[in-house]
Structure 1
Amino acid sequence: MKAIGNMKKILFFLLLIQCFAWSTAFAQTTAIKEAEEAYTKEDYNKAIDLYENILKSNGESAEIFYNLGNAYYKAGKIAPAILNYERALVLDPGDTDARFNLQLARQKSVDKIEPVENFFLTDWFDTIQNTAAADSWARIGIVCFIFFIGCVILFFFSRWIRLKKVGFYLGLVLLVMVIFANIFAKNQKDELVNRKHAIVFTPTVTVKSSPDASGTDLFILHEGTKVSVKSTLGDWSEIELEDGNIGWMPSKDIEKI
């Protein structure tokens, strides 16, 4: 009887958890619909507030970041739009809509920074890597490894020469895919965990040669520009631009992606 009573308590507790999950999901769905309606009615500030609240209540979401970026873009707030498109791409690098809208938003920013030209294989590597998120690459790696094991078995135990050759060459291809899938997954995971990039959020800021207001003026940046944060010292951040220029600026003037 005691065991039955404990079982009922466990079931009741599990039911409460499930009900809480259902109510949370329902509330989130309702909030998203309300935000979408506000966006459709061109009440972008209301949509922004609703999407921001959804993120605070439910955590990061590529879809919400993307929608929030759209709302900021329509409201004429370019820096927050770029920030949220970038955050959406960190979670879902293969989102072509977010990447396209990010390029549109960047065209409205003042600073036109030409990235340092990379070796074509590096660009090719990055393009492939950005087609999927870390979890997707991890799953691809696992599937390829399973098939690789099958090819190894085929090579060692098949009596037919043709099947041995198929197992050998296909196994090599799958092994390479496993290696690259794991590299891609690791890189995407590092990008997700270690947020090293940021967006300038002040209209104009002078980048200094040292972490001090009395440092030599190097160049001026405007809101919406993407920077890489190399280090921080007190209230200052050492940043690097896509063209390789380096300097110091107040940490309060940037927002981490």
Structure 2
Amino acid sequence: MKKLVSIVVLLLSLVAYSQEVDKLFDEGNTFYKEENYTRAVGVYLAIEEQGMVSDDLYFNIANCYYKMNKVAPAIYYYEKALKINPTNEDALNNLAFAKRMTIDVIEELPKTFLQRFSASIIQKFSFDTWAIIAVIASFLASLLFLLYHFSSSSKKKIFYFNTTIFSVLVLIVTVFFAYSNFKTVQKNRTAIIFSSKVEIKNAPSTSSDEVFELHEGTKVIVLDELDNWKKIKIADGKIGWIYADYLKEI
């Protein structure tokens, strides 16, 4: 009986939390429509502080910062939205506009065939999406195998056998894609420069030599960290050290 009461209380708490979040979200949307972007972003950030993770929420936060001409936060939250949902076309389009506000023009290194395939196919969906497709394929393969096993018609057996094999192949491919996507996300720690201008050093020390400089809004890959310094790489392959307070990991 105590367990049942606890479950009911938990469910009621979740419903109340959901209603509160929806109310705040609507409030933020109202401020946004009124072009009161400062208050709108304040409401959205309050939702984020409650532990809410959503590409729609991050997209709205980014839009507010974009309207306020705050380059780094806008790009940061567009990137966060795309990390959750890489197929968010609105976030992709708005990110392209936000990047035009940045100062740094960095020419990307040519990608290999595998890198292009990963970016255009594997990274097109999140690893959660690939995992869901894999689960669906596994259930479908099991069902088709049972139909094959209990079917008395030779034509149906051939059909169910072939579709079972196809489902198993889809399962194997999607599991591989999910794992590959997960490893890529874990390996590629990305961050956005938040300082208006920052010197990138050749060693994790303020007295070391400057190798190049970056400006706010530029996306970098975090390779390593030491104390309050982070080793980064930019799209053209240049590597250096930056003080950790000058960037924010996505």
| TM-score normalized by the length of structure 1 | 0.86
Change in CA separation of 1:145 and 1:11 when aligned onto 2, cut-off 3 Å? closer
d(CA) in 2 for partners of 1:44 and 1:187? 39
8 Å Cα contact 1:91/1:192 also seen in 2: no
**Partner residue, 2:27:** 34
d(CA) in 1 for partners of 2:164 and 2:3? 48
Task: Note the C-alpha offset of 1:203.
Answer: 0.3
Q: How does 1:12-161 map to 2 (within 5 A)?
A: 12-149=5-142, 154=148, 160=154
8 Å Cα contact 1:39/1:71 also seen in 2: yes
The secondary structure found in structure 2 opposite 1:76 is coil
What is the percent sequence identity of the aligned residues?
29
**Counterpart residue identity of residue 219, structure 1:** F
**Partner residue, 1:242:** 235
8 Å Cα contact 1:134/1:185 also seen in 2: yes
Point out the more displaced range, 39-48 or 121-130: 121-130
1:204 and 2:197 correspond: yes
**Counterpart residue identity of residue 88, structure 2:** D
**Counterpart residue identity of residue 224, structure 2:** S
Task: Note the C-alpha offset of 1:194.
Answer: 6.3
Task: Note the C-alpha offset of 1:159.
Answer: 7.0
Point out the more displaced range, 57-66 or 78-87: 57-66
**Partner residue, 1:174:** 167
Task: Note the C-alpha offset of 1:20.
Answer: 1.9
Change in CA separation of 1:150 and 1:33 when aligned onto 2, cut-off 3 Å? closer
Q: Which runs of 5+ in 1 are unaligned?
A: 1-6
d(CA) in 2 for partners of 1:116 and 1:158? 58
Task: Note the C-alpha offset of 1:185.
Answer: 1.8
Task: Note the C-alpha offset of 1:162.
Answer: 8.9
The secondary structure found in structure 1 opposite 2:217 is coil
Count of aligned residue pairs for this structure pair: 249
Point out the more displaced range, 132-141 or 221-230: 132-141
**Counterpart residue identity of residue 109, structure 1:** T
8 Å Cα contact 2:222/2:233 also seen in 1: yes
